[in-house]
Every structure is written in structure tokens, then in C-alpha cells.
Structure 1
């Protein structure tokens, strides 16, 4: 292995290992684990108890969860095996990690697992696919498929490309700025017209501000509608968004497609079924929240790794510059960028867990789990296991090449969009949005990070660097990375 490769592994080690070196990390490492079983299995069942850790009173190991994300889940896996539990802020949560445990839960053979997201993040996704269960989930998912057809996606992509180009032309050059808030704002700027046919002016900014308020409500510590709390602001924002979308439905029905809401209004099942106004509003709310947050996280991760690996940035830029003006087909042909995005969201998954709740007593790989327990399905852990990925901390986009296809060693080795019945319906849409953003960046700018810089990833909601990812963009040198020079 080269010295450069060794440096890369050291830099990414905190994605797979809990930091115990100094400060709060060293203090947290001394937290008493207080191990014990989750619950006694029924007599004669032949099932085993789930092992786990209580940690501190009430807080448990909740801070570890927020700070370390998948690295903490890997630590649980190594300590207790593929099925374990830990306490976090007064609640016991079961962890299913490793391909077999994840598959056992997501297959849901005895229908013991329902969506656990409403219990974790609150009511912001109510009525959306993520919070629904069978059979309503399957019915609505089938009906929504038309809004994600290639023809529909082509219309959304065209608008996103235009808006990304206009917004990025105003980004600062040659001076430090923080990439995370800039990309969050950019996501809003390319969302409102593609989703609602609303330019990012006064109305568009208002919509995305309300979306951001709902997202902040997901991680609110005080979950009471008290004055001044994020929870209350989120409830009010959701109510205003619902009213706004309800008023927008007649105009959306009158449009000839091109934006997500208009297409969704027009979808019709084979039996003539259509969404009611309430269903349209609920699905639109969910789509706005989910698409904004996850694509921001994926874009940030890929921007970071492209800056850490100039050789891959150069390859991706050459491919972009060789292409025609972007449309759906052109984005599909960006194979190098596709490899880089896939590897980036393997290392830093936008959605590293799927949440389920047991609706009846059941078992996971022979471990007894009583009804009423949250289950964290650790798909992000699978993406970082040496049993599945050689040198898992190493940034290596060629893993996803047809020749190596490491993502196919197990059907759940790589699942950043989830799996099973709740696999993200908008994964292709999301990838197109991320590609459109990064392609524009590559065409306009060059960027690197200092050799010793390692993004301090935190997992309070979706993964993002705690320092906002400081960056300096430089204008692309004409001809320096043209296809003929690579």
C-alpha cells in the first residue's frame, strides 16, 4: 500500500472506530456500560436474550450515538454480536447490524415490524411513505411510481440543472466559506421549482424555511408545544405548509406536468384511483423534507471526498467537460461521478439506519425481542464492515466498477437508500439531484482540503461535518483538466 493510501485510511478511521483519544471522547470511553439482557425469553421458546448496555442513568449511551453514529454501532456489534441493545435518553433500542440481522428485520416474515420513524422523529412525515405500513403503504407506493418515471424525472432534472447553474454562479471564489450551509441553501434553490413550479423568490424561500423548521423539529430535545421551542416552531411550519400546498392544488392540476406536484396530482391507478387532497399534501410534505435533507448530506459527503482526492476530482471533471449540456441522459452517462458518489455515501451514508418498532413479540436471529421496542436497522454499519469490504475505511470508488462489484457480495452490503418494502422510492431522483449539483461544481470550480484535515462528522440528524466544512473554491483553470489532458 502507498504512503498516500495509508494516510487516507488513517483519516477515515473515525468513520469506523470510536475516538477515545482525548477530551470528551476519552471521558465518554469511561462511561460505565452496565451490561444486561433486554428481556427474559418465554420459557421453552429456545430463544436467547438480547445482550446490551444500559450506560448512564436515563442518558444511557445516547451521547455516543450522536457523536459517533455507525462507529458506535460497530462497537456494539463487536461487543455483543449482530443483535444487541443500548439505552439512549430513557429508551431501550435494539440494534440489528450485519447483513443477516438487517435482512431478518427488513424481510419481516411474520409481520412483526412496523415503521418506527414516527416514534423517533415525530409527526413531520405523517401520511408519507416512510411512516406508512402495509397495505396502505403498498397501495400509495404503487400509485406514486408514475411521479418517478423517466419522463417525469426528465422534467425535474431540466429545472434543477438550470437553477443550480444560476445559484452557483453567485458562490464566493477565493475566500473561505462553509460548504454545508451553502449546499443546504442550494438544495432549496433547486427544489422549489422542480417540486412546486415556484421560483426561489419570496414564496420559494418561505417554503424552504418552513421545511428547515420541520427538519429541526426532528431532533428537538423538548417535545412539547411550548413557546420558543423548536417543536412548536416545527408544528406551526408544518401547518402553514399544509395550508399552502392545499391552496396550490387547483393550479397544479391545471398544469401540464414538469414539476413533481403537478405530476402527482395527475397520477391514476389502473382502477381509476387517485390521491385525495389530504394524501397529496401529506406525500408532498414528506417528499420536500426527505429529498432536501438526504440529498444535501450526499452532496456534502461527495464534495468532501472529491476535495480529499484530487485525482478523482480530475477524472470526474474531465468526464463532465466532455459531455453535452446536461439532461437526464447526460447525467446517466457520468459514470466516474457515479462511482465517486456511491463510494462517498458508502463511507458516509445519508441514512445510516432504518427505524422499526416491534408490534408483537418476535425474534431477530433467535434473540427474543418483546413488542413495543424500537429497532435500529444498521444498514450503514454493513457498508463499513471488513467482512464485506476490503479495507473499508479506504476511499476507493473502483469498488463499484463492474470488474470488482464489491457492493454485490451481499444484497445488503450497500443499502444507502434502504431495502425491502420501504426502500426509497425517490432514489433515482435523489441521485440525479446530487449529480446535477456536483457536475456544475466540477465545471466551474476546483477545490482541495489541507492534507491533515479530517471532517468532524456528527450524527445528530443526518451526517454532516460539525465545523460546516470550510472550503475555498478556485475558478477552474481553462484547459487544465480538459479531457485531452487526463
Structure 2
């Protein structure tokens, strides 16, 4: 493998090219690729085998995927085409990139693909939509739609905006600190009252600590319930959360409030059905994890790019200050067009959910390449968001590409797909975008920030993407910018 050396004069080069600046990267490149085919197509089928690489014995390209993220996926696409395979930690994984290949898998017209997430991240999403297949997925999704209506979102976002404002009032100004852990905690602080109707202190903090235990286990190397391991702690945290949430359901039904759990406990009817107590607990747990982890990653990305591009930060702040501070409505947040474009561009470059996992339930093909049943497939949707054939100068931060007149995201329906596509498209995508915008709106009103010239975040991809240096930041009042 001979990746291109990082171009120091290109914006966000590490996102589109595998960096070779560190000695460890040089070591990785010295291992032979060991090219081979995934499986021989059936005789007379007229299909091609999937090309790919074995990489390092057992480890394969697992380290490359964790270290370089979408840049490694781009490398595979350049080397082998839109359908390829690689070995990672003892397992062969088909990698699907490019708009047409991704659309084929996510549209799933021949019903050949099922969700592959349980095989990758374990049981942490069990009982949630992400771990379900049709027809169970469709039945649960139809019932849940009411919990993500605009009327319901208004209640959640109002609480989140209020809490974000209160929390940010306690953030340090003029002092250097790491933004990544601070933003993750902020996400938890604005989540519990909106989702559970529970204040963050003290009960909400304990709940979000348990949620974080589950999140950390998603990428655990040791997957044995041995005391002291991440896997064991996560199983224990999940049991506590399910028990706690199950006990909370009767009170949620009785209060008929505007928090997510209360709304979810009341949706459905004679024709639609209604979730039982455990189902409500499981869907609420999934929503806690998803609404916390991915939105924190999106907020981190937006804070980074706003700090790198002060002119966009100024425009977004002026737009926020042009409206009343509180209460915040869905309509008002949707009207923050500059901030909307900034967030969309941020998660184009650094997608909180860069892949979708599927598994084949029968022999099938993608773009004429044979994939046997039982094969794990990584749908690399974030790669599409970095392809020069879909985006002008894709490595550049350019929110204007999402504005009327350019609309680069509409070149192909899978050009920009941070929330997935098809039947498994994220049911909470509007909720997630509103939460991120409400948080950034509150942050822009109170602070300004700027990163040193030449600073590029060292993104890591061991779980959801985040800068490995914690993203050191100094906040100042907008007047000091």
C-alpha cells in the first residue's frame, strides 16, 4: 500500500488522505497488502468476484480503519473500486462506497440485506430501531413517529435550549480547556430533562454516566463479561438503565408531559398498538444513546470548523443575535440558515455516523460483484461526502455548497447521507439537527473562539470521530474577537 503523503497546504487533508507523517504510519505501510478475492461467483452467474486485501495477519486493516477513518475507505475505493473487501481483526468485511453502490445496499430492493449493527457493536442497541429488521422495524417505527412530530420536538428543544443556556453560563472564559469532554458533558446535561423529564443533577448525571459506559463498550477489544472490563461494566450499566427506565414508565404515562419518555408512553392506539413497559424502556435507552453520542460528535465538528473559519462564526452569530434569545422554537431554529449550512458542511467533512452496517441474508450482488450470504458489509456513506465527482473541492470547508443556487447535496440522493437512507434512515434526524443547532446557538450568543493559524485537529476514529488532543480551546466574549 502506498498512500499519498499528506499535503500540508490542503484544508482537512487528513480526512481525504492517509497521513504518513508519524513513524507508526510508516510501519503500517511496510506490511504487504496480500491481494485476493472474497469468494468465487457461482458458475454461469455472470458476476465478478469482490477484490480486496488481507493486510496484516489477523489484524488485517483494522488499525488502518481506526486510525484513518474515511481516508482509508477512500484509499480502498481508489485501489479496488466501489465494492471491495478487507480483513479487520480476523473478519472479512465488504466495503461499499460511491453513490450508486451505497444506494443499492441501503435501498435493499431485493431484501438481501439486514442490519449488521448487532454483530459489530454488541447488544447496546438491542430493542432499538437500529437493531431491528422488517417487519418489526416498520411496525415500531410507525408507532414512534408521533414522538418525533414537530409538536413533540418543540417540547424537547425548548428544554434543551434552556438547559444549554444555563450550563454555558458556567463555562470558563479566558482559560484554555479541552472542548471535547466539555461538549460531551454539555450534551448529557441538555439531554436528560428533554428525554426523561429528569434534571441532570443528581439523577440525570448518574443516568448519563451509565449511558457512557454502554457507548464505550461499542468498540471494546475484549468482549467478555469479566469483572473489571469495559464489556462487563457496560452490561451492568445496561441492566441498571433498563430497570430504572422500566420503573419510570408509569410516572411518565401519568404526567402526560412534553418530555420524550412521556410522549412515547402515550403514543399509539387501538389500530396502531402501543408499546409495553419494557419496549418503552428499550426505545428510550436507544434514544438516550443515539441523541447523546452522535449530536455531541456533530457539535464538536461544528465548533472546530467555526473556530477555523471566523468569518462563518461571525455570520452565524449575527443571525442568532437577530432573534429573541428564549424561548427557542423549532421554527426559529429552522430559520437559522447560516447555522444550518455550517452544521451540514461540518458533518459532511466529519460525519458522526460514517458507516452503516449490514449483513447479507442471501447471496446477492452489488454493481455486478458477487457477495455470498452471511457476509458483513460496511456501507461507507461518509466516503460519498468526500468524492470530487460529487462535490467541488470536497476537502474544503464551504457551507455555501448547501445554499440555494449550488445545492451540491442534491447532485445524487446519496451524496450527503449522514443520517442514512432507506427504511433505516434515522428517525431522529430532525431532532438531532435541532439539538445541535440549539446548542451552537447558545454557544455563539455567549462566546467567540478561534484556533491558531495552521492548527488542524488530529481526528481519531476509534469510535465516533473526535480530535485526539481534546480540541484545546479558549473562549472569549464576542466583543473580544
TM-score (norm 1): 0.96
C-alpha contact (below 8 Å) 1:193/1:200 kept by paired residues: yes
Where 1:201 maps in the other structure, the secondary structure is helix
**How far does the alpha carbon of each residue in 1:274-295 deviate from its partner, in whole angstroms, 9 at most, with x for none?**
0111211111111111110000
1:468 paired residue number: 470
C-alpha contact (below 8 Å) 2:157/2:330 kept by paired residues: yes
Distance apart, 1:327 and its partner CA: 2.1
User: Mind listing any 5+ residue stretches in structure 2 that lack a counterpart?
Assistant: 1-6
Where 2:378 maps in the other structure, the secondary structure is strand
2:404 paired residue number: 402
C-alpha contact (below 8 Å) 1:223/1:231 kept by paired residues: yes
Distance apart, 1:247 and its partner CA: 0.5
Aligned residues: 473
Where 1:453 maps in the other structure, the secondary structure is coil
1:183 aligns with 2:183: yes
Q: Work out the CA distance in 2 between the residues paired with 1:467 and 1:360.
A: 43
Q: Work out the CA distance in 2 between the residues paired with 1:193 and 1:471.
A: 28
Q: Work out the CA distance in 1 between the residues paired with 2:109 and 2:161.
A: 42
Distance apart, 1:21 and its partner CA: 3.0
Q: Work out the CA distance in 2 between the residues paired with 1:157 and 1:216.
A: 26
1:370 aligns with 2:369: no
1:318 aligns with 2:318: yes
**How far does the alpha carbon of each residue in 1:256-284 deviate from its partner, in whole angstroms, 9 at most, with x for none?**
22100000000014605101112111111
C-alpha contact (below 8 Å) 2:226/2:232 kept by paired residues: yes
Q: Work out the CA distance in 2 between the residues paired with 1:9 and 1:37.
A: 37
Where 1:194 maps in the other structure, the secondary structure is helix
**How far does the alpha carbon of each residue in 1:286-332 deviate from its partner, in whole angstroms, 9 at most, with x for none?**
11111100000000000000000000000000000001122222111
Instruction: Classify 1:9/1:156 alpha carbon distance in 2 versus 1 (closer, same or farther; 3 Å).
Output: farther
C-alpha contact (below 8 Å) 1:179/1:470 kept by paired residues: yes
1:107 aligns with 2:104: no
Regions of 4+ moved over 4 Å: none
Distance apart, 1:395 and its partner CA: 0.5
C-alpha contact (below 8 Å) 1:297/1:464 kept by paired residues: yes
1:438 aligns with 2:430: no
Distance apart, 1:107 and its partner CA: 1.3
C-alpha contact (below 8 Å) 2:356/2:380 kept by paired residues: yes
Q: Work out the CA distance in 1 between the residues paired with 2:329 and 2:168.
A: 18
1:416 paired residue number: 418
**How far does the alpha carbon of each residue in 1:240-267 deviate from its partner, in whole angstroms, 9 at most, with x for none?**
0000001101100011221000000000
User: Mind listing any 5+ residue stretches in structure 1 that lack a counterpart?
Assistant: 1-6, 481-486
2:237 paired residue number: 237
